[in-house]
């Protein structure tokens, strides 16, 4: 099983930029914690960060047929990118949107997510811990999908017998 973590613009500057909003953790530290959870659960994890919208769309599309789940922080593109929204919808992979800050307590233009409607869930306002919550969430979603598939296979086998 494989999970891809996609990070949007300026997240490479975590630990430097606006620490009063985003905290002092660097992206590498967040990824190290996520990797630990993935390892404990026997899951492959891949990380990708870009400041360019098209590269984020390309990465989402590359997940098709390769990944079982996506965790994405589209950052500023959350509020503007129909292209990222459409890419998530197109691949049909369970996706969780994460935001370090509570976007609903920020500027009005940040309070609308173009991405949320095509995601399984959104986690906002928990700081870097939101990524841990997203890992737990995506693992649960994937576990439920696997259980449903196994039940369907058992039902088909019983019908054939």
CATH of the domain at 33: 3.40.50.9100
Average pLDDT of the residues in 67-89: 97
Domain that holds residue 80: 2-160
Contact 93, 63 (CB under 8 A): yes
Question: Between vectors from CA 117 to CA 27 and to CA 139, what angle results, nearest 5°?
Answer: 55
> Into how many domains does the chain fold?
1
Higher pLDDT, 21 or 94: 94
Catalytic residues: 22, 99
Enumerate the H helices of the chain as residue ranges: 19-22, 27-40, 53-62, 82-91, 129-160
Q: What is the pLDDT of residues 26-54, one digit of tens each?
A: 999 999 999 999 999 999 999 999 999 99
Residue % of the chain over a pLDDT of 90? 79
State pTM to two decimals: 0.91
Give the residue from 12, 33, 15, 13 showing the smallest Cα distance to 24.
15
């Amino acid at each position: 099983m494989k999970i891809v973590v996609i990070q949007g613009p300026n997240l490479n500057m975590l630990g430097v930029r606006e620490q009063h909003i985003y905290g002092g953790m660097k992206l590498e530290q967040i990824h190290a914690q996520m990797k630990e959870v993935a390892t404990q659960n026997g899951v492959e994890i891949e990380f990708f960060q870009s400041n360019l919208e098209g590269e984020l769309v390309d990465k989402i599309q590359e997940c098709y047929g390769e990944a079982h789940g996506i965790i994405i922080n589209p950052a500023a593109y959350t509020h503007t990118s129909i292209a990222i929204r459409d890419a998530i919808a197109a691949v049909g992979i369970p996706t969780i949107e994460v935001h370090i800050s509570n976007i609903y307590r920020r500027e009005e233009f940040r309070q609308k997510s173009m991405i949320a409607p095509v995601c399984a869930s959104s986690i906002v306002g928990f700081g870097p811990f939101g990524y841990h919550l997203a890992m737990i969430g995506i693992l649960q979603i994937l576990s439920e999908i696997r259980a449903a598939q196994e039940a369907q296979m058992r039902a088909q086998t019983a019908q054939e017998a």
